[in-house]
Each structure stands twice: as C-alpha cells, then as structure tokens.
A and B are shown apart, each in its own frame.
Chain A
Amino acid sequence: MTSHVLQVENVAASYRKNTVLQNVSFQVKPGTLTAIVGPNGAGKSTLLKTLLDLHPKLSGHVQFFGSSYQKMKRKVGYVPQRGSVDWDFPADALDVVMMGLYGQIGWLRWPSRRHRELALEALDKMGMADYSKRQISQLSGGQQQRVFLARALVQNADLYFMDEPLAGVDAATERAIMRILNELKQSGKTVLVVHHDLQTVEDYFDHVLLLNGTVIDHGETKQAFTQENIARTYGGALQWMKGEAFYAHPARK
C-alpha cells in the first residue's frame, strides 16, 4: 500500500503540436512542501493543469491518495495564477473566498451565516479582514493573491497546488503566504508550489521538483537542489554564485 498523496507516472501533455511534458513521473509524500522550479516554458503550469484534468493528458497515470482525481476532488485545492481570472468581475473579496466553500455548501443551495464566518476567518488569517467588502478590482496584486489563498484555505483540502503564488507580491505578502504554507504543512497537509525565485527555494521548501519538459530531479531540497541539477534544468544558461545572486547569460547556440 502506498503512503504517497500523489503518484504521477509517465504523464505527457502537449499544446497543439508541441509536446510540453514527457515521461513525467514522481511521488509526493504527505506533509511536504514542494517547490516546482524550471525555466519559462518548462511546463510547470501545464503540469498542474494536467494533473487537475484542466488540460488533457496524452498518456500516463495520476493517483491522488491512492485513488482517481475524480473521486478525491474534494481533498484537492488549487490556486491558479492570479492573471487567469478577470478581476474586473463584480465581486468583493468575501465573495471570492466564499467560492471556495461552494463544494461544501453543495450545488443548488444558498450559503449560510456559518459559511460567511468561515470565509471571514480565512480572510483574517491572510491579514485581509479589513478588505472583505472591497471590490476585487480595487485590490493590489498582493492582496488579490491573498484572497486566492484564503479561498484555497476555506476549501480545507489535504493537497494543494499553487501556481506562482509568490509572483509579483511584496515582501509582506510573501511572508504572510509563506507563514500560511508552513502552517498547512505543520497540520499535515501537502503543498506543491510553482516557484520562480531560485534564491528562496532552500529557505522555503523542504522538497524540490526540477522540471524542464520532464523531471530533471526530485527530492529533498538538500539533496536535489544542487548546482549541477540547476544547470541541467536551466540548460546551463544560469550560473550559481554561492551566496550571491544568479546571473543569466544569453543562451548560445
């Protein structure tokens, strides 16, 4: 019997003619916080979407909690990229968080006072209690991201997928989000995060998945996040300066 919350075997996916993912296989243990890193176009977002049936997979098997995604949907939460929705939509922050409860409320039913309280609680956890009635179009990028996180929190899932939650947010929001991610981990939940900032990988995540079309390496950050692996993932166009910043060189043919 497996103790993995997520088992991915030989998954492949494509956009029109271009194969984006091939032979993607990995397993995720419960209670881990995994960063998915890789260059632009490596298929990070596509991987999440493919696992969650939002993008068709060409081949392969995916198991959630030893079962199919269809059966385990309720235990899986998803935080899409902030840019994936129209923030001009007429709704306030509370409305958006309430959407995370629709599964619990049940289709064709109206939300109750208790649901509102749960949503407010989640907003409060994200430091957004004062903004519950604020129009989502009037929120800053970081605040919108926190609303998305709050919506994922009320889902009360056991396994979370987050697509670049730390992209373009300020330091305060980044701290707030990381605190929540660690809390989730402490309570035994599993989180996979598409991440773009290589400098913070070691500080923030206990596991890392290096992706570029396929899995380059996957494991505990200490072991897998090596200079060699990073170079393999980024095609050698990136140099690791210990303790310093990264320098990206233009790719040569």
Chain B
Amino acid sequence: MHILLGSNTQWVLLSTLALGMAAGLVGCLSYWKRQSLMSDALSHAALPGIVIAFMLLGQKDIYVLIIGAAISALLGAFFIQWIRSATRISEDTAMGIVLSVFFGLGIMLLTIVNRTVGGNQSGLDTFIFGQAAAMVRKDVRMMTMLAIIVIALVTFLFKEWKIFLFDPGFAKGMGLSIRSMNVLYLGMLVVTIVIGIQAAGVILMAALLIIPPVSARYWTESFKRMMMLSALFGGAAGAIGTIVSVLGKGWPTGPFIVVVSSMIFVFSLFFGAKKGIVTEMLQQRARKRQNEPAWSVAASSTLKEGNQ
C-alpha cells in the first residue's frame, strides 16, 4: 500500500478522477446525441497520430503526442462525416471503417517504431491499454487542466447543451448556433479522449465515455442529475481503477477502470431507482397487488372464515 502514499500517485489519482468526471459528462452528451460509438471510433483513430508524432520528434513529449493524437482523431471524425455525406454508407458503418483502418495503421507504425533502435524504450505501448503509473508530473498537470476546462464548459453551458440535444431545430430558432455547438462538442470529445489515452488506453477509453452515462440513466429522469451521476460514476471508475492498477508493477490501468465502471453498470442495471430490472419488477408487483379486485379479497376472507 505504500505506493498509494507517494505524492506522485496522489497527483495521478487526482488526474484520473478529473478525467473520469470529464468523460462522464462528455459521454452524457454523446449518449443523447446518439453517438456513443463515435467516441470509440475517435479514440482508436488517435493511435496513428501518437506514433507519427513520436517518430517525427524522436522522444516522448506529452504535448506533441497529445497534438498528434488530436489531429489524428479529428481526421477520423472528418472521414466519418465525409463518408456519411458523400456516399450511401451509413454512419455506424463509416465509424467501423475509420476505427479499424486507423487502429490498424497505428499498430503497424507502432511495430515499426519498436523495431528501430531505442524504439522499444519509447513506452508507446502503454498507450494501448493505458498506464497511469507511467505518467509524470507534466502529464498529470496537463491532463487535469484540460479535464477541468471540459468540466467547466459542460457546466457553464448546461442549458445550451440541454436544448441542443433535445431540439436543435428549435435551439437554432432561438439564436443558438448549432454549428458552433457541434464544433465545441467534437472538440471536447477529442480533448477528453486524448487526455484519457495515457491513463485508459486507446482501446478502452471509449468505455469511460459510454458506460457511466448508461449507468446513470437507470437512476434518474432529470438531465441535470443524469449528468451529475455520470460524472460521479466516471470519476469513481477512474480513481478506483487507478488505485488498483498501481498496486501491481506494470499493471495496465484501462482494464481496471473498465471493470470498475462495469460493476457500477451491472448494479445500476438491476437496482437503478428508475429503470433497474429488480426495481421495476418490485413496482410491477406492488401495482398488481393494489389493483387486485376487492371481491377476490372479500371472497378469500369469507373462504377463510368458512374454513374455521
């Protein structure tokens, strides 16, 4: 446990907490934009950018890698948009194409980098499954700062996001620029993915964006509370996943984060206060009992009396 007391770990913990919260919030926006899979496509699409940035620079500088990842993810988003509008291919197919092509390219480049001299010390492998423990102070500061900016943007523009997601046509009539909101949304999605890659990895980052909002949906019928719960679940998954992963040397963080958020999801699925399976079953049973016709109650009581 001594490692948990290290000051570096505490900072890492703070950053994955902030990351989880930002991902929970942005994931909520994706959920109601019906674009959950978009986050998966974009996080996979970030990999080639990271590797190319490393190849160009020859060293692991977090700022450059993040910019590389962002460009690559945005390029992926652009391709998805382009395929959808210029061809007859549907959006989910376009996402599938971009996801696999970009990820394949990224793995190929990564293999090449690892073969070159000194390349295998690059530590780029950690970007696939994520390794929070490998983060240094500079990474942590950057990640936390960007996550806080994302959280602030969602919070301050709360009512704008709400109308943008519920009724964009009406929002436009009220003078809200739908184009700017779309750009901002995509920007926040890419930033969240990019800062999360180091901790959660390109493969599993999407889980942090998809699972918390889905879990939150089982608890509430209010958009505000859904956002807050999603941030809470995401933050908890990020922090607990990090704690577990630093216990063992070289344990990846991404899978632990996913396992924790999945546990939250399964619990929500069954016991969620609004739509949980068990909750609904109990409510249904209570309703049935209430609606039982009076005569059958009366009849059964007379029967009992008769038996005595």
Give chain A's interface residues, CB within 8 Å of chain B: 49, 52-54, 73-74, 76-78, 80, 84-86, 89-92, 95-96, 99-100, 102-103, 105, 107-108, 110-111, 135, 137, 151, 155
Contact = CB atoms under 8 A, between A and B. Distances in A.
Contacts of B163: 99, 102
A73 B173 CA distance: 6
B226 interface: yes
A74 B175 contact: yes
A91 B174 contact: no
**Interface-central residue, B166, B174, B222, by most chain A CB under 10 Å:** B174
Query: Which secondary structure characterizes the binding site on chain B?
Result: helix
B166 A85 contact: yes
Given A78-B169, A85-B166, A107-B160, 18 more contacts: A52-B172, A54-B169, A73-B174, A80-B167, A80-B169, A85-B167, A91-B166, A91-B222, A91-B223, A95-B223, A99-B174, A100-B174, A102-B160, A107-B175, A108-B160, A110-B159, A135-B221, A155-B174
Interface residues on B, range: 20 to 34
Contacts of B226: 90
B165 A89 contact: yes
A73 B166 contact: no
Nearest to A52: B173
Interface in B211-239: 217, 220-223, 225-226
Contacts of B162: 91, 95, 99
Contacts of B169: 49, 54, 78, 80, 84
A54 B159 contact: no
Contact of A78 (B165, B170, B217): B170
Query: Which secondary structure characterizes the binding site on chain A?
Result: mixed
Nearest to A77: B173
Nearest to A54: B169
A90 B113 CA distance: 47
Contacts of B167: 80, 84-85, 99
B176 interface: yes
Given A86-B166, A90-B222, A76 B173 contact: yes
**Interface-central residue, A74, A102, A151, by most chain B CB under 10 Å:** A102
B223 A54 contact: no
Interface in B30-80: 32
B226 to A, nearest CB: 5
Given A90-B226, A95-B223, A73 B165 contact: no
Given A85-B167, A86-B166, A96-B166, A103 B223 contact: no
Contacts of B176: 102, 107
Contacts of B160: 102, 107-108
Nearest to B177: A107
B173 to A, nearest CB: 5
B294 interface: no
A65 B156 CA distance: 34
B183 interface: no
B157 interface: yes
A87 to B, nearest CB: 10
Nearest to A101: B174
